[in-house]
Copies of this chain bind each other. A is one copy, B any other.
Amino acid sequence: MKIYLAELSVRSKERMQIINVTSEVSGIIERSGIKGGFVNLWVPHTTAAITVNEHDPDLWTDILVTLEKVAPIKGDYRHNAKYRWIPGEQNAHAHILNSLIKPSITIPIVNGRMLLGTWQSILFVEMDGPQTRTIQVQVVGE
């Protein structure tokens, strides 16, 4: 069994933003040469996450609006109070949502392709942008 690791760079432009990275991940799997196995996506950040859903920017707004209801950007957070003088550190909402959505997902690979359903795209969830972010793509198999 072979392990192939590649790094993906993602550039967000908004504070809260969903970015479809399916084709970039597919390209890495193709370059790995692995035909059967799985890919584990890992986001090494505490204020961004990774999930899966339909490619529909309207839906992405719905998702972000719901996330902001669960943990409002302007909330009464201890983490923010501690760093009140640093604008870039007013991001407790992003940390909290990261712990809920979590920064990884594992997807089976068959015949060199991820077993994504018709409507499934891989979505990077920026919650404290704009920033340049990294996704670690680990492909495992044969």
Contact = CB atoms under 8 A, between A and B. Distances in A.
Interface of A: 1, 3, 5, 36-38, 40, 42-46, 51-54, 56, 58-59, 61-63, 66, 69-71, 77-79, 81-82, 92, 95-96, 98-108, 110, 115-120, 123, 125, 134, 136, 138, 140-142
Nearest to A36: B3
Contact of A95 (B5, B38, B45, B53): B53
Contacts of A125: 99
A contact face: mostly helix, strand, loop, or mixed:
mixed
Given A46-B119, A141-B3, A66 B61 contact: no
**Copies of this chain, how many?**
3
25 contacts: A3-B141, A3-B142, A42-B106, A42-B115, A44-B120, A45-B117, A45-B119, A46-B119, A51-B102, A52-B102, A56-B79, A59-B77, A59-B78, A59-B95, A59-B96, A61-B78, A62-B78, A63-B96, A70-B70, A100-B101, A101-B102, A102-B102, A103-B120, A104-B106, A108-B138
